[in-house]
């Protein structure tokens, strides 16, 4: 059953929560915000358009438009391509120096490890945002197909 459009006087926190639930929670920043929640907040305040989320695709943009009561349109392809399933990070553990920089960069806590010990990615939690790659000083992180998609 479709969700009715948000009432113009809906409390802002409730509207933000509804918008945030629609977003894919990849925290990829392709929208230009620091994650899905800040993007939802900006949309709720009328400071961002509904078409800025490539991982959400056209369906996500339409759902956001419906909640906000604005005309539906596809996502802005200049922000990136819509891919499913997203590649996931893989740490080449033999090369990992245990610096924890990738752990600090991961917006969804998908990387585990301890200082000066090797780290690993919890694949089901990884959104494929690639924010861990530039954080790694030894270039030991690769993006690969999720295990469930590999031949």
The number of angstroms, rounded, from the C-alpha of 39 to the middle of its chain's C-alpha atoms is: 11
Place of tokens 């585990």: 112
For 124, phi then psi, to 5°, come to -65, -20
Binding-site members for [4Fe-4S] cluster are 28, 31, 36, 53, 96, 99, 102, 106, 126, 129, 132, 136
Place of tokens 């200049």: 78
Q: How far apart are the first and last CA of the chain?
A: 37
Written as six digits, the tokens of 99 are 């610096």
């Amino acid at each position: 059953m479709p969700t009715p459009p948000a009432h113009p006087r809906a409390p802002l926190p409730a509207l933000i929560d509804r918008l945030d639930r629609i977003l894919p929670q990849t925290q990829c920043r392709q929208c230009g915000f620091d994650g899905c929640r800040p993007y939802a907040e900006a949309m709720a305040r009328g400071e961002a358009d509904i078409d800025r989320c490539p991982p959400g695709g056209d369906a996500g943009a339409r759902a956001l438009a419906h909640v906000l009561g604005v005309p539906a349109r596809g996502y802005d392809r200049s922000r990136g391509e819509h891919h499913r399933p997203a590649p996931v990070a893989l740490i080449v553990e033999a090369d990992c120096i245990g610096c924890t920089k990738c752990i600090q960069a991961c917006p969804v806590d998908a990387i585990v490890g301890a200082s000066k010990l090797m780290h690993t990615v919890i694949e089901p939690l990884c959104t494929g945002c690639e924010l861990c790659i530039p954080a790694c000083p030894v270039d030991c992180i690769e993006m690969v197909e999720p295990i469930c998609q590999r031949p």
